[in-house]
C-alpha cells in the first residue's frame, strides 16, 4: 500500500510548479487526473519553443509523471459540468492558473465546494492570494530576482546569477504538496475541507530564510557572493588534476587545519604564524588560496576525496549531470530511478526524497499523452 492510495486529485495546472505538486502526490499513490484544454498544457511544447533539441520532453514528463490525462474545455458549459461531476468524488483540486481567470471560469474554491464541501483546493500562486498582486501566476526567473535569491548567489564580480533548473518552481511545488497533505490530515480529524495557498514567491523566501533572519536581526546586508566573501580556505571549491572539482565545508577549521596541510603537502605551513589559526588565515587569505589551488591540481578528485575521508575532513565532489546519477548515495537511496516506457524506453527520473519505510511510493508511468484517458474517465461518470 502507498500512503495516498484511495485519494483522487484533479490537477488543472500548467508548466512547472502546479504539475510538479500533483506529481509528488501521484508518487505516493494518489490517483491524479491531469485536466488539459484541447490545445494541451503549454509545457508539452516548451522545449521546442525554447529551441532545445531533445527527442524526450524531460520537462513535461518529470512534472507530470504517474498521472492520467483528460481533455476538458472549461470555457464550454458542457465540459464544466463534467468537471463539477468529477469534483463530487474528488479529494483534492490543484490549480496554478491566475486566480482571477479561475473565478471568471467558475472553477474557484467557492464554486467547487458547492459540489463537494470536503474538497481540499490548493492554489499554486505566484505571489500569494493577498495583496496587490494576489492570485497572479509567477515565473521562476522573476521570483528568483524578487526573492533576493538571484542577488545573494552573485558571482565574484557581483553579477546576479540565476540558480536554474526551476529553483523557485520546485520549492513552490514541494510546499504546495506539503500544504495539501496538512489539509487532508485536518480533514481526516474534522471532516472539513479548505483552501490552501502555496506561492512560488513564499517558497523562495523559505529558501532564503537564513539571510532574511540575518538581516532582520543585525540590519547588516548578507554577503552578495558567498564564494567571493569566504574567509576560510577550508570552505571553498578547488579544481583537481582531472579538471573535476572538490568542495570543502569544514566548520571547525582550526581543528582540521594541520591534517589538511599534511594531506595536500603543505605541512610546513600548518604552524606558520600567517596561517596558524582562523583569524590569521582570514587576514592572509589572498596569499594562501593560490598555494592551496596549486596543490589541489596535483591529484585527481577521487584520490583527494579518499585522503580527506581518512582524516574526516568534510569534502564532496562537485557533481554535474553526468556524475550525479552515479553518486553512491543517489543510487542507494533511489533519489533518481529508472522508469521504463513503451514509447521512450528506459529513462532516468528524479524521485521523491521522502521515504516512508513501510509504505513507499513509486513512479508508475511517464506523463500521459494529451487526453489519453478521456474516454475511460468520462465513462466512469455515467
Give pLDDT tens digits for 12-63: 999 999 999 999 999 999 999 999 999 999 999 999 999 999 999 999 999 9
Percent of the chain with pLDDT strictly greater than 90: 92
Return the SS3 of 120. strand
Domains (ranges, CATH) in the chain?
Answer: 8-209+333-380 (3.40.50.10540), 235-312 (3.30.1540.10)
Find how far residue 379's CA is from the centre of its chain.
Answer: 36
For the chain, the first-to-last Cα distance in angstroms comes to 28
Across the range 123-152, mean pLDDT stands at: 94
Q: What is the mean pLDDT of the chain?
A: 95
Across the range 164-193, mean pLDDT stands at: 96
Contact at 8 Å (CB) between 61 and 367? Answer: yes
Q: Classify residue 329 by burial, with Cβ atoms within 10 Å: 0-12, 13-18, 19+.
A: exposed
Place of cell 521522502: 354
Cα→Cα distances 325→62, 322, 334, Å: 15, 7, 10
pLDDT for position 159: 87
Across the range 360-371, mean pLDDT stands at: 97
Query: Of 181, 176, 180, 238, which is closest to residue 202 (Cα–Cα)?
Result: 176
Give pLDDT tens digits for 229-244: 788 999 999 999 999 9
pLDDT for position 91: 98
Give pLDDT tens digits for 265-284: 999 999 999 999 999 999 99
Give pLDDT tens digits for 328-345: 999 999 999 999 999 999
Residue 311 and residue 281: Cα distance in Å, rounded?
Answer: 21
Enumerate the β-bridge partners of residue 196: 122
Give pLDDT tens digits for 74-129: 999 999 999 999 999 999 999 999 999 999 999 999 999 999 999 999 999 999 99
Q: What is the bridge-based pairing of β-strands 345-350 and 336-341?
A: antiparallel
Give pLDDT tens digits for 179-223: 999 999 999 999 999 999 999 999 999 999 999 999 999 999 888
Residue 347 and residue 344: Cα distance in Å, rounded?
Answer: 7
Is the pLDDT at 226 greater than 80? The verdict is no
Amino acid at each position: 500500500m502507498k500512503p495516498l492510495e484511495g485519494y483522487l486529485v484533479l490537477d488543472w495546472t500548467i508548466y512547472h510548479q502546479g504539475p510538479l505538486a500533483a506529481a509528488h502526490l501521484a508518487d505516493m499513490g494518489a490517483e491524479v487526473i491531469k485536466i488539459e484544454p484541447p490545445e494541451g498544457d503549454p509545457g508539452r511544447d516548451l522545449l521546442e519553443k525554447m529551441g532545445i533539441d531533445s527527442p524526450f520532453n524531460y520537462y513535461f514528463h518529470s512534472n507530470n509523471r504517474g498521472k492520467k490525462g483528460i481533455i476538458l474545455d472549461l470555457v464550454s458549459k458542457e465540459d464544466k459540468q463534467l468537471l463539477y461531476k468529477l469534483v463530487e468524488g474528488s479529494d483534492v483540486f490543484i490549480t496554478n492558473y491566475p486566480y482571477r481567470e479561475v473565478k471568471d471560469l467558475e472553477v474557484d474554491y467557492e464554486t467547487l465546494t458547492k459540489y463537494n464541501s470536503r474538497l481540499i483546493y490548493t492554489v499554486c500562486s505566484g505571489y500569494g492570494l493577498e495583496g496587490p498582486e494576489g492570485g497572479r501566476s509567477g515565473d521562476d526567473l522573476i521570483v528568483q530576482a524578487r526573492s533576493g535569491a538571484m542577488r545573494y548567489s552573485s558571482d565574484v564580480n557581483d553579477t546576479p546569477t540565476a540558480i536554474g533548473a526551476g529553483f523557485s518552481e520546485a520549492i513552490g511545488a514541494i510546499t504546495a504538496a506539503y500544504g495539501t497533505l496538512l489539509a487532508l490530515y485536518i480533514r481526516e480529524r474534522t471532516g472539513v475541507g479548505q483552501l490552501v495557498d502555496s506561492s512560488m514567491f513564499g517558497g523562495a523566501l523559505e529558501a532564503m530564510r537564513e539571510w532574511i533572519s540575518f538581516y532582520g536581526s543585525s540590519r547588516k546586508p548578507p554577503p552578495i557572493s558567498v564564494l567571493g566573501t569566504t574567509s576560510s580556505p577550508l570552505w571553498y571549491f578547488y579544481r583537481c588534476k582531472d579538471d573535476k572539482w572538490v568542495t570543502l565545508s569544514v566548520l571547525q577549521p582550526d581543528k582540521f587545519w594541520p591534517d589538511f596541510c599534511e594531506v595536500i603537502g603543505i605541512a610546513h605551513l600548518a604552524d606558520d604564524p600567517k596561517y596558524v589559526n582562523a583569524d590569521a588565515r582570514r587576514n592572509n587569505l589572498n596569499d594562501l588560496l593560490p598555494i592551496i589551488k596549486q596543490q589541489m591540481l596535483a591529484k585527481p578528485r577521487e584520490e583527494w576525496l579518499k585522503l580527506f575521508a581518512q582524516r574526516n575532513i568534510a569534502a564532496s565532489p562537485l557533481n554535474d549531470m553526468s556524475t550525479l546519477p552515479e553518486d553512491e548515495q543517489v543510487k542507494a537511496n533511489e533519489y533518481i530511478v529508472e522508469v521504463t516506457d513503451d514509447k521512450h524506453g528506459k529513462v532516468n527520473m528524479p524521485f521523491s526524497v521522502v521515504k516512508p519505510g513501510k509504505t513507499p511510493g513509486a513512479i508508475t508511468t511517464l506523463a500521459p499523452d494529451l487526453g489519453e484517458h478521456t474516454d475511460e474517465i468520462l465513462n466512469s461518470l455515467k
